[in-house]
Amino acid sequence: MMNPIELKKAVGSGLLSFPVTHFDDQLKFDEAKYRRHVEWLAGYDAAALFAAGGTGEFFSLNPAEIPQVVRAAKVSAGNTPIISGTGYGTSLAIEIAQAAEKAGADGLLLLPPYLMFAEQAGLIAHVKAVCQSVGIGVIVYNRDNAVLTAESIARLAEECPNLIGFKDGVGDVDKVIEITTLLGDRLVYVGGMPTHEVYAQAYFAAGVTTYSSAVFNFVPALAQRFYGALRTGNQATVDEILKSFFFPFVALRNRKKGYAVSIIKAGLRVLGQNPGPVRPPLTDLTQEELALLEKIVQANGLSRIAAE
């Protein structure tokens, strides 16, 4: 396992992704298919992979399944760091965090606590308790009912040496700029908006130069090409991929609630892979929507890029 400083450096070194979690027809974890998928993704030079993250349906996994997923990812990922999801209430988040650490996770992504909105003091206590329960690095996910202020993040960074990262899924770029300006290089900053590629240019300007890519699951070469164009200032390529792939993809994703996850598994089906269905309460794409996604993937040779 990496120490927190090593993980921080790794996370900031390139594009990130979070593999879908494979299920069989009975909605049980399909470890063999998951391991093959993680091994395939690791071959595309992801800086780190988030096992049992949001796109990995963390919210539908029970606590005993999460270390299973982490162990499977670690076996298959080679030298690619594995960051496990954790979350819910503080006690359960600590239990999951410690189980993930024992299973070999290099770090943790702390997702928002279940259901309740809370004051900053409560959120600080929650994040601090999870950080202090483990020795591995922790990235806090800023979104929904767990939105931290710059002052709260600064306090946590001072009190929790293993807090190594801040992932934003809110989209208030002015707040992100405040945090990156105040904290500087104390943390690594990760973009975490749904289909973050459509937000990436604004976040790059705010000092967030890496992000987690969901489409990396099924078009990893395209995802890396887009990321490379962003990093090198190749605006023509950025615009081309946004127009030909990401804009129509997002329009289809936005048809129904929960499709930010469902459409990624559908993308794998388009390529002839079978990640299994999403677990309830999510729903899979319809056949008509699957056909539309296939057209998007096939446009401009993207199916060929995906296969390579």
For the cut 90, the answer to whether the pLDDT of residue 300 exceeds it is no
pLDDT of 212 higher than 70:
yes
The pLDDT tens digits of the residues spanning 94-147 come to 999 999 999 999 999 999 998 889 999 999 999 999 999 999 999 999 999 999
Q: Which two tokens stand for residue 38?
A: 């993680």
Q: Where are the alpha helices (DSSP H) in the chain?
A: 4-11, 31-42, 65-76, 90-102, 120-132, 150-159, 173-183, 200-205, 220-232, 235-241, 247-253, 259-270, 287-298, 302-307
Residue 1: predicted pLDDT: 82
How does pLDDT run across 184-201, given as a tens digit for each residue?
999 999 999 999 999 999
Residue 308 has pLDDT above 80, yes or no: no
Q: What are the boundaries of each domain within the chain? A: 4-232
pLDDT tens digits, 261-289:
999 999 999 999 999 999 999 999 999 99
Beta strands at 16-17 and 210-213: parallel, antiparallel or unpaired? parallel
User: What's the whole-number average pLDDT of the chain?
Assistant: 95
Percent of the chain scored above 70 by pLDDT? 97
Is 283 annotated in a binding site? The answer is no
DSSP three-state, residue 146: strand
| 4-232 CATH pick, 3.30.1330.10, 3.40.50.10800, 3.40.50.300, 3.20.20.70 | 3.20.20.70
Distance (Å, whole) CA 126 – CA 115: 14
**Structural tokens at position 265:** 């598994």
Tell me which residues are annotated as active site. Answer: 141, 167
pLDDT of residue 160 exceeding 90, the answer is yes
Residue 305: the pLDDT is 54
Q: pLDDT by residue (tens digit) across 12-67?
A: 999 999 999 999 999 999 999 999 999 999 999 999 999 999 999 999 999 999 99
Whether residue 104 contacts residue 80, with contact meaning beta carbons closer than 8 Å, is answered with: no
Does the pTM surpass 0.85? The reply is yes
Residue 250: what pLDDT? Answer: 98
Structure-token pair, residue 172: 């208030």
Q: What is the pLDDT of residue 229?
A: 97
